[in-house]
Structure 1
């Protein structure tokens, strides 16, 4: 199936999560994304998790790197050399209406400054991922700490901050990268102008908590929001244990969801009496949040008297909003049974099996393909010939000099 961005050419020179996520998103939408890495691989090339349970040695293939860079063409260039820098510059500024798009997170290289590149191609679209707006480094886990989320995460009695394991700001930044590219392309198509878009991870995190109203709340109250463990803030939602030890998360955001939960658990009369006794109106989300512990205590016996299969059947029949806690091994098992069409098996260049994802966007019902597993430098010769017009002899000289490498020589 054709994809909407077919014909678009993007050069990606970025490491870790945010930039590669932006490039992967564009590639799964059909763009030809050329990822440029140093000869031998960048700092994220062997990042965990790796094949072999971490015991595969220094050459173990990274599930992380392979999955975030699938569907891209890989070029390996020694950017420490003048010839290598010129090759990358030529790739970035190559002529053509569907070229001249760069995604990077490069800091401190004057030759890759936007004004230098734009002098070669004035309509260049350049999206640069940063840690902070002033160029200082940052990663998801440091900016998350600085916007206050670990202070409100974790058990109520906890004192130390609780970090999360999901790099949410990295992923949000990556999707913002793809949005910025598409917006700049639209502007260039209308005006002929290029664009330089700087996107700082710290700004993405600050915008996120501000747009949720969390900073306004802190400013008004003058203190931190208290921790509530697994309770959903501002509404009713918490986990319950079933009789077989399985746990479920149940949420009632709307009046209809609350009514369904009351009816299926047979507690409507109890909650009617509670409302009268406490002069409360549990149809209101704020009231359900205020009385969350009392509500949870009333509901727990219903869950404790049923195993997961019974709970699942009854909650589904009543259209209650809920989810089961699963380990990732269970997600893998469900994938093996065909439960998750967005997931797909992928074979890494070394032969190891991996699980990756197709685009979560379904175009006319179709996720599209995930993209082929990348191999460092595999497409170096093809890209240099196709995009820069170099012949086999010229490419051979560059490889002999160590300026570029192909998949068989990437460890040079």
Structure 2
């Protein structure tokens, strides 16, 4: 991950544990890191999958530093740590991190933290002040809460694709917005929610 950690900002002194992947959660954590929070990115043993989402790339295969610019961008100003949360040792390290944290950000499917042994009750025992931002595709009370909420699916189901594109081209077919807008908006709103919880 990048080594350009910002030393100060309005969130200096707050620690965030970022257990999220891809874009929505990492984007929320990135915004908070940009504001000075100490963000620790927790990755699986092989690293976050987005490290391989190039081109463009930085580094080289020869020395093992090749990383997608995408991963570097959304994880800027963060420290990172690889943990195997399927193993007791990895979960114990995460528990120690959370005991000193102000915020946990994750985007596991509903029930994912419970399966790892980090239910709401356990989180409250580890750190009563902990703010927990959980980003899911459809929320825990949806008819199928474990269904993945990929951006293009959300764009289609919300009707956004039907109002995007050229109505006269290709018979006016629905068109995906170029960026993963639902992830960016979820991350932005998640960061605002964390700010409200920390400062409210």
Give the TM-score normalised by structure 1. 0.41
Which of 141, 150, 159 pairs up with 2:152?
A: 141
Shift of the 32–2 alpha-carbon distance from structure 1 to 2, 3 Å rule, reads closer
- 2:41 and 2:8 mapped to 1: Cα distance? 22
Shift of the 5–147 alpha-carbon distance from structure 1 to 2, 3 Å rule, reads same
* Matched-pair contact (CA < 8 Å) for 1:35–1:73: yes
Q: CA deviation at 1:56?
A: 6.6
Q: Do residues 152 (structure 1) and 163 (structure 2) align?
A: yes
Partner of 1:62: 68
Partner of 1:8: 14
Which secondary structure state, in structure 2, belongs to the residue aligned with residue 112 of structure 1?
A: coil
Correspondence 1:96-115 to 2 at 5 A: 99-107=101-109, 108-110=112-114, 111-115=117-121
- 2:65 and 2:153 mapped to 1: Cα distance? 29
Q: Max radius of gyration: which structure?
A: 1
Q: CA deviation at 1:168?
A: 1.4
- 2:175 and 2:78 mapped to 1: Cα distance? 36
Partner of 1:176: 189
Q: Do residues 20 (structure 1) and 31 (structure 2) align?
A: no
| Number of positions where the alignment pairs a residue of Structure 1 with one of Structure 2 | 181
- 2:165 and 2:191 mapped to 1: Cα distance? 32
Q: CA deviation at 1:50?
A: 3.4
Which of 62, 77, 85 pairs up with 1:79?
A: 85
- 1:186 and 1:11 mapped to 2: Cα distance? 18
Q: CA deviation at 1:92?
A: 1.0
Report Cα offsets for 1:214-271 as digits up to 9, x if no partner: xxxxxxxxxxxxxxxxxxxxxxxxxxxxxxxxxxxxxxxxxxxxxxxxxxxxxxxxxx
- Runs ≥4 in structure 1, deviation > 3 angstroms? 55-60
Q: CA deviation at 1:59?
A: 7.2
Q: Do residues 117 (structure 1) and 123 (structure 2) align?
A: yes
* Matched-pair contact (CA < 8 Å) for 2:50–2:71: yes
Q: CA deviation at 1:60?
A: 3.7
Give the TM-score normalised by structure 2. 0.82
Superposition CA RMSD, Å: 2.2
Report Cα offsets for 1:106-129 as digits up to 9, x if no partner: 232311332321132222211111
- 1:2 and 1:72 mapped to 2: Cα distance? 13
Q: CA deviation at 1:159?
A: 3.8
Gaps of 5+ in 2: 1-6
Report Cα offsets for 1:42-64 as digits up to 9, x if no partner: 33221233328xx9799742010
Which secondary structure state, in structure 2, belongs to the residue aligned with residue 87 of structure 1?
A: helix
- 2:150 and 2:97 mapped to 1: Cα distance? 28
Which has the higher mean CA deviation after the structures are superposed, 147-156 or 30-39? 147-156
* Matched-pair contact (CA < 8 Å) for 1:50–1:60: no
Correspondence 1:6-405 to 2 at 5 A: 6-51=12-57, 60-94=66-100, 99-107=101-109, 108-110=112-114, 111-134=117-140, 135-136=145-146, 137-157=148-168, 158-187=171-200
Shift of the 14–163 alpha-carbon distance from structure 1 to 2, 3 Å rule, reads same
